[in-house]
Amino acid sequence: MNKFLELSVMGVFAVAAGASAAKPESAEKPWIVDRFDDIKVIRYEVPGFESLPLREKELIYYLSEAAKCGRDILFDQNFKYNLVIRHTLERIYNDTDDRDSADFKALEKYLKKMWFANGIHHHYSNDKFRPEFAEKWLREQIDRYVYSDDLDIPVDFLCAILYDPDMYPSRLNQTAGADVILTSANNYYEGVDQQQVEEFYARMAEQHKDDKEPISYGLNSKLMADEEGNVVERVWRVGGMYSPAIEKIVYWLDKAAEVAEPVQRRTIEALAKYYRTGDLNDFDAYNILWVKDLESNVDFVNGFIEDYGDPLGRKASWEANVNFRDEQACRRTEIISANAQWFEDNSPVDPAYKKKTVKGVSAKVITVAMLGGDCYPATPIGINLPNADWIRKEYGSKSVTIDNITYAYDKAAHGNGFTEEFVLRREDRERMDKYGKLADDLHTDLHECLGHGSGQLAPGTKGTELRTYTSTLEEARADLFGLYYLGDEKLVELGLIPSLDVAWAQYADYIMNGMMTQLSRIEPGKNVEESHMRNRKLIAEWCYEKGRDDNVIEWVVDNGKRYIVVNDFRRLRELFGELLREVQRIKSEGDYEAGKQLVERYAVAVDADLHDEVLRRYRALNIEPYGGFVNPEYRLVYDPTGTKVVDVEISYPADYVQQMLGYGREYSLLPNLN
């Protein structure tokens, strides 16, 4: 539950004060390499890779291969039939001779969207894509180019999945009052309903209620009914579900361990052991080793980590990230980490829910070298792990801000006209232009490094009580922590910001995004479903309502266009603190009803007229609201005997389609149905 997804207004600001050292860039190559539907695909560079020691380059290569081998796992987790659909459509795309027709162009667009979302449901809205190619044409292409033995499902069923809007309409349904298990198309559950799932894990929790070190039950398994009707788990491990892909991940982890330094070697070996056993106690043992390793320059995330895709917040999607430290940019995170106890002590939350002693808080700015699974093509710009509350309490957490990704966002968005269109006041635009990247980076640092790691549960609270609202409220808690402290004079004292104008730039941006501009990501007639979007809307709408009497936030109409304006930044900061206090109480006490009321009242419903206006203004700017990336490619260079690695070369492909087709050829490691 601890990812900071993207820049607050999709990276609209140019590189500004406070950014790290200028990155080398290839002037002849565009930053945006593809555009389709509501998506832009960006290339990112890996500055400093060529200067790394050979051992670290080789380590990055092996970890990068492991990061690509879990791709099919995520597709299958997102929807049981994603792989058979992807394989079928890719076969047609590669083999058909009908490449000039409108249907083929529509197939290419559909595939681009499917690759980006790791499935047939939108990566943010969770709604099923609607094909623009004719069903008759598709059936003809299947008949010509796809062997019936390769399908594993009837053609009629495949077409029904694609074309029937009522079949598997949403990957993730969080509608209050619905059976969120039966109405979600993800592949975490099969043959069971919400009550059965909740009863299964309640029994498991009761059996282990006295465990000193509680594990995250259900994190790495599919829950389903067997042939006799018994509810059972299929664990994702070597020899279990997803074994062919996991075996390859372990193979590359073993290769990485061979070139890693001793401390990191033990960490990698612990992760490989967990993949072999599927035992969540082994996962915790790995996490403890990982969070304690603060010395390794190269680092990684690999595994079943985040539970956003499960409406009950138990099952984790597979993701991977390979990175190394950006030494120059790490200064600000080192300052934040060193002052973690001060931030905790001075938090506006109830003292009963503050950590008396903050342990092991570490943060760094990183250069990402490879993205995989649920971090690709769309990626977070910040990560805070591990997620287990007891590990955080006893051993701390590691937070990262991904600088070369935010830099790529900025370069891709340069001069796109967003601020001129949506920010009314000149002084706000000037602050955003001057301090935008610094404000975004610091908010990410505070969100990840301190926000997620702050606070503690009340005695007796397990951490699972908030159910479908867990992710939204946890992201709101971390966002509020970052927003509150961004406006604190302590940051000026620490030398992190030159003045509170940095905070005011972020406040104006955040409220505008939460109440208005993020609506560009939602289809007409839809409510807000994604947890991060709900979090931002909850905060902005709550502060608007609570500050209405003082005109803290105001709607202004100018030349027929609506704008949202912050009139009192200091009072807004106080409101952030008040809401933080309440959200922390809700989490600490496991107050489900209060959490539900907050989310359902402020975070879900969309004003149709405002939504229509935002969409029209976005279309006029030709700005895609979503962005993702193509990965670099690495190649081992051997000596003349072909036995010794002497270098690792990096290149930057700029063809999204070819990268996806290449991944389909090289990393299709699972059968159609699992």
What pLDDT, on a 0 to 100 scale, did the predictor assign at position 303?
98
Question: Where does the pLDDT of residue 17 fall: very low under 50, low under 70, confident under 90, or very high at 90 and above?
Answer: very low
Question: Where does the pLDDT of residue 379 fall: very low under 50, low under 70, confident under 90, or very high at 90 and above?
Answer: very high
423 in a domain, yes or no? yes
Helical H segments across 446-488, by residue range: 470-486
536 in a domain, yes or no? yes
Task: Provide mean pLDDT across the span 358-377.
Answer: 90
> 491-510 burial, b for 16+ CB within 10 Å, e for fewer?
beeeebbeebbbbbbbbbbb
100 in a domain, yes or no? no
- Per-position DSSP letters for 531-581, written without gaps between them: HHHHHHHHHHHHHHHHTTTTTSEEEEEETTEEEEEES-HHHHHHHHHHHHH
**What single letter denotes the amino acid at residue 257?**
A
The set of residues, in sequence order, having a beta carbon less than 8 Å from that of 85 and lying 6+ positions away, is: 114, 120, 158, 161, 162
Question: Shortest CA distance to 475 belongs to which of 310, 345, 606, 599?
Answer: 599
CA separation (Å) from 92 to 79, 137, 158, 469, 512? Answer: 21, 11, 14, 41, 43
| Residue 22 pLDDT greater than 50, yes or no | no
Least reliable range by pLDDT among 11-15, 189-193, 285-289, 647-651: 11-15
Report how far apart the first and last C-alpha atoms of the chain are (Å, whole number).
26
As to burial, measured by CB atoms within 10 angstroms (0-12 exposed, 13-18 middle, 19+ buried), residue 470 is: buried
| Residue 84 pLDDT greater than 60, yes or no | yes
What whole-number percentage of the chain has pLDDT above 90?
Answer: 79
Question: Where does the pLDDT of residue 1 fall: very low under 50, low under 70, confident under 90, or very high at 90 and above?
Answer: very low
64 in a domain, yes or no? no
383 in a domain, yes or no? yes
> 271-281 burial, b for 16+ CB within 10 Å, e for fewer?
bbbbbbbbebe
What pLDDT, on a 0 to 100 scale, did the predictor assign at position 298?
98
User: To 5 degrees, how large is the angle CA 170–CA 172–CA 178?
Assistant: 90
Average pLDDT over the chain, rounded to whole? Answer: 92
| Residue bearing tokens 């390793």 | 293
Task: Provide mean pLDDT across the span 137-158.
Answer: 93
Write out the H or E segment, with its range, that includes residue 656: helix 656-666
Backbone angles phi, psi at 443, to 5 degrees: -65, -40
What pLDDT, on a 0 to 100 scale, did the predictor assign at position 362?
77
Q: Torsion over CA of 211, 213, 218 and 220, rounded to 10 degrees?
A: -140
| Residue 12 pLDDT greater than 70, yes or no | no
What pLDDT, on a 0 to 100 scale, did the predictor assign at position 328?
79
**What single letter denotes the amino acid at residue 354?**
K
592 in a domain, yes or no? yes
565 versus 524: the higher-pLDDT residue is 565
What pLDDT, on a 0 to 100 scale, did the predictor assign at position 364?
86
What pLDDT, on a 0 to 100 scale, did the predictor assign at position 9?
39
Task: Provide mean pLDDT across the span 179-184.
Answer: 96
212 versus 598: the higher-pLDDT residue is 598
DSSP annotation of 49 reads G
114 in a domain, yes or no? no
125 versus 53: the higher-pLDDT residue is 53
Task: Provide mean pLDDT across the span 51-58.
Answer: 98
Task: Provide mean pLDDT across the span 51-57.
Answer: 98
* Token representation of residue 550: 């003082």
Question: Where does the pLDDT of residue 160 fall: very low under 50, low under 70, confident under 90, or very high at 90 and above?
Answer: very high
Question: Shortest CA distance to 584 belongs to which of 477, 666, 509, 484?
Answer: 477
pTM to 2 decimal places: 0.81
Least reliable range by pLDDT among 228-237, 345-354, 408-417, 664-673: 408-417
Question: Shortest CA distance to 207 belongs to which of 305, 197, 215?
Answer: 215
Task: Provide mean pLDDT across the span 250-276.
Answer: 98
Count of beta carbons in the 10 Å neighbourhood of residue 560: 6
* Token representation of residue 443: 């908010």
Task: Provide mean pLDDT across the span 126-142.
Answer: 97
Question: Where does the pLDDT of residue 2 fall: very low under 50, low under 70, confident under 90, or very high at 90 and above?
Answer: low
Task: Provide mean pLDDT across the span 66-85.
Answer: 98
What pLDDT, on a 0 to 100 scale, did the predictor assign at position 588?
97
Q: Which residues constitute the domain of residue 596?
A: 3-19+320-628
| Residue 23 pLDDT greater than 50, yes or no | no
Task: Provide mean pLDDT across the span 370-382.
Answer: 94
| Residue 357 pLDDT greater than 50, yes or no | yes
What whole-number percentage of the chain has pLDDT above 70?
Answer: 96
Task: Please count the structural domains in the chain.
Answer: 1
155 in a domain, yes or no? no
